[in-house]
Structure 1
Amino acid sequence: MMMMKLVSSRVLFLFVSVFVMWVRVNLAEGENGHGGIRNYISWEDLQVDEQRLTLKRHDDVRVIVVNKYGGGHSKTVQGAVDMVPENNKHRVKIYIYPGIYREKVRVAVNKPYVSFVGKRNQTASPVITWNSKSSDRGTNGQALGTFDTATVGVDSDYFCATGITFENSVIATAGVKGMQGVALRVNSERAMFYQVRIKGAQDSLLDNTGNHYFLECDILGKVDFIFGSAKSLYKNCLLQSITDDFGAIAAHHRNSATEDTGFSFVGCNIRGSGRVYLGRAWGNYSRIIYSKCNMDDIIIPEGWSDWNQSDRKKTAVFGEYLCDGKGADRSNRAPWSKSFSYDEVAPFLHKSFIDGDEWLRL
């Protein structure tokens, strides 16, 4: 009798141990065992451990698997986003298998702490693509406008993504009205993008509002292919012009000197075709700085445009610091742009520019 009780106790202990291990494995992704709200983005938030990944019900785990060919929790990226609980308080990773996902995706403000993690293989990574342009008609019969053309729109706080291509496949000629087509729109208060590809033509990336960090990303387009009113640091990115004739890399919107916003490009490479401006003054106090960037010979010698608003020459903040390459020659630059000293550029060089010490742990 005593022996039977002993065996039963051991079986119960083994069962409980296995159950606890199963729970730990499935909660490990995005939780790190602390159980509290993590108001920051870390490298862990951009990784999925395939060795520990088991396909359970999406509400049992914090990794939601997307595979357009089946075998995941969802065949679409939006379907996976819809599975994230509203007002979520824990990191949820959406793990996306390679494939072309033809859909519009929206990550709402009430779904924070979401990661998009692309599963790479030897030949491909996932691509989320659509082809809306601003002149297209919406369900209300009115033109979409640039904002609503976004293939992927992110309003979620503490959002991050890696290993994915965001694409708007509209083929636009520079300057043609109604051809704006956004691949990625970011309205997050805080968001990070690491080794993603953002591809469009006119207005590829709407970096709209909030503080954002783009690290080692490839961003392609023709006209104003990075634009918006955000405060963002672009570090070690590839900025690639695909225009046939003329275009512009960045257009920042800032209406007053008191607005703490701007685009800072640090250590980036500028490559591609055509002739492009470094930036255009979309707002009166537009602020764009390039530091330690390498520029191919595709930069229009003047470098900067006042958007045909001559008063903006007095208030826009356009600067360069220790850039090199044939396109970095400042001898014919717009005289109202600046060659920054170290003291002037220092506030724009590091993650502190976007208050990253508060929400990035990298």
Structure 2
Amino acid sequence: MVAQDGSGDYATLGEALESVRAFMDYNVKIYVKKGIYKEKLVIPSWLQNIEIIGEDVNATIITYADHANINNMGTFRTYTMKVEGSHITFRDITIENNAPRLGQAVALHTEGDCLRFINCRFLGNQDTVYTGTAGTRLYFKNCYIEGTTDFIFGPATAWFEGCTIHSKANSYITAASTPKDVQFGYIFDKCELTAEDNVDKVYLGRPWRPYAYTLFMNCKLGSHIVPEGWNNWRNKENEKTARYAEFKNSGEGAEISKRVGWSLQLSEKQAKSVTLNNVFSTSGVWNPCE
């Protein structure tokens, strides 16, 4: 138990993580009571089979405020929470990068495989969630993710189910960098795309690397989504390789008549192959719903 008031076993999440033994073959649950925990944390690669559970998603907050322009830090050191370990689950907790809009500022940085985020919030501006290692598998369910530019980005394979994706500025939601030889990148299923009141020109994605894969299916797209849907990141060559698709979306932003010609609307047959089992079968069986 983690509690700032001294009623738990530890006062910080960092202390609790330090107490966990390396390479466990059993499960450890860490409960985190309400509070604002100002911590910059790494869950190292030798930790696994951990579940971190907040008391209240809106009141259990891990926060820090690094951004890329502090001492030339660069994007990849700005994280509030970096998860290098595999088979880690987060529930009912908020991870925030509270830096001002002065550069890239990552809230969640993932490198481990088989990571689950259930009913969590990820708060930030540019580059909120970095899915950082190709071939790793991430599952987000009923989460809230907000940001300004490229606020879900990276090479991992990630499934977002029933999530709210909230744009805070006119910009781009995703910047996938899916490798050429990886079949699936980002999949958004039954998600809702929302925006601040003054936001009215947001792209679903732009390719950070040429073979970026992003699919929105069964989602509700707000009016802030531009009719073109997708952007080539100022490089027409990306139009030949980027794998951008939609299937049975609804809402004011889902009109497909003006979508860029190099994106795809999946057929029923194509969509049927996009299942959790197929997407996550790349390196052994993993069912995140078990």
TM range (shorter): over 0.9
Q: What is the alpha-carbon distance in structure 1 between the residues aligned to residue 50 and residue 112 of structure 2?
A: 11
Q: What is the alpha-carbon distance in structure 1 between the residues aligned to residue 262 and residue 127 of structure 2?
A: 25
- 1:66 is displaced (CA, Å) by 0.5
- From 96, 114, 119, the equivalent of 1:195 is 119
SS at match of 2:216: strand
User: Which amino acid letter does the alignment assign opposite residue 270 of structure 1?
Assistant: L
Let me know the Cα RMSD of the aligned residues.
1.5
Q: 1:361 to 1:324 in 2, by over 3 A?
A: closer
SS at match of 2:286: helix
User: 2:90 maps to which residue?
Assistant: 161
Cα contact 1:291–1:349 (8 A) shared by 2: no
- From 172, 176, 191, the equivalent of 1:252 is 176
SS at match of 1:193: strand
- 1:147 is displaced (CA, Å) by 1.2
- 1:158 is displaced (CA, Å) by 0.4
Give the TM-score normalised by structure 1.
0.75
- From 33, 42, 46, the equivalent of 1:106 is 42
User: 1:96 maps to which residue?
Assistant: 32
SS at match of 1:224: coil
User: 2:19 maps to which residue?
Assistant: 83
- 1:357 is displaced (CA, Å) by 5.1
SS at match of 2:127: coil
Aligned counterparts, 1:177-188, within 5 A: 179-188=103-112
CA displacement 1:82-120 (0-9 Å, x = unmatched): 111122221111100000001101100001111110113
Q: What is the alpha-carbon distance in structure 1 between the residues aligned to residue 288 and residue 241 of structure 2?
A: 31
Q: What is the alpha-carbon distance in structure 1 between the residues aligned to residue 55 and residue 107 of structure 2?
A: 20
Q: For structure 2, list consecutive stretches of 5 or more residues without a partner in the other structure.
A: none
- 1:169 is displaced (CA, Å) by 0.8
- 1:148 is displaced (CA, Å) by 1.1
User: Which amino acid letter does the alignment assign opposite residue 193 of structure 2?
Assistant: I
- 1:260 is displaced (CA, Å) by 3.3
SS at match of 2:238: helix
Matched, 1:328 2:264: no
Q: What is the alpha-carbon distance in structure 2 between the residues aligned to residue 112 and residue 255 of structure 1?
A: 26
Aligned counterparts, 1:44-193, within 5 A: 65-120=1-56, 124-137=58-71, 143-172=72-101, 179-193=103-117
CA displacement 1:122-155 (0-9 Å, x = unmatched): xx43000001001212xxxxx2211111100001
Cα contact 2:114–2:288 (8 A) shared by 1: no
Cα contact 2:204–2:225 (8 A) shared by 1: yes
User: Which amino acid letter does the alignment assign opposite residue 170 of structure 1?
Assistant: A
Q: 1:359 to 1:99 in 2, by over 3 A?
A: same
SS at match of 2:139: strand
Q: What is the alpha-carbon distance in structure 1 between the residues aligned to residue 113 and residue 62 of structure 2?
A: 23
Matched, 1:206 2:130: yes
Q: What is the alpha-carbon distance in structure 2 between the residues aligned to residue 247 and residue 171 of structure 1?
A: 17
Q: What is the alpha-carbon distance in structure 2 between the residues aligned to residue 230 and residue 71 of structure 1?
A: 38
Q: What is the alpha-carbon distance in structure 2 between the residues aligned to residue 271 and residue 129 of structure 1?
A: 23
Q: What is the alpha-carbon distance in structure 1 between the residues aligned to residue 244 and residue 273 of structure 2?
A: 14
CA displacement 1:35-58 (0-9 Å, x = unmatched): xxxxxxxxxxxxxxxxxxxxxxxx
Give the TM-score normalised by structure 2.
0.94
Cα contact 2:277–2:286 (8 A) shared by 1: no
Between Structure 1 and Structure 2, the one with more helix by share is: 1
User: Which amino acid letter does the alignment assign opposite residue 194 of structure 1?
Assistant: I
- From 240, 243, 250, the equivalent of 1:317 is 243
SS at match of 2:48: coil
User: 2:186 maps to which residue?
Assistant: 263
Identity %: 29
CA displacement 1:221-257 (0-9 Å, x = unmatched): 11111111001111111001111xx11111100242x
Aligned counterparts, 1:221-240, within 5 A: 221-240=147-166
Q: For structure 1, list consecutive stretches of 5 or more residues without a partner in the other structure.
A: 1-64, 138-142, 173-177
- 1:359 is displaced (CA, Å) by 4.1
User: Which amino acid letter does the alignment assign opposite residue 81 of structure 2?
Assistant: V
SS at match of 2:90: strand
- Of structures 1 and 2, the larger Rg is shown by 1
- 1:361 is displaced (CA, Å) by 4.6
Aligned counterparts, 1:34-53, within 5 A: none
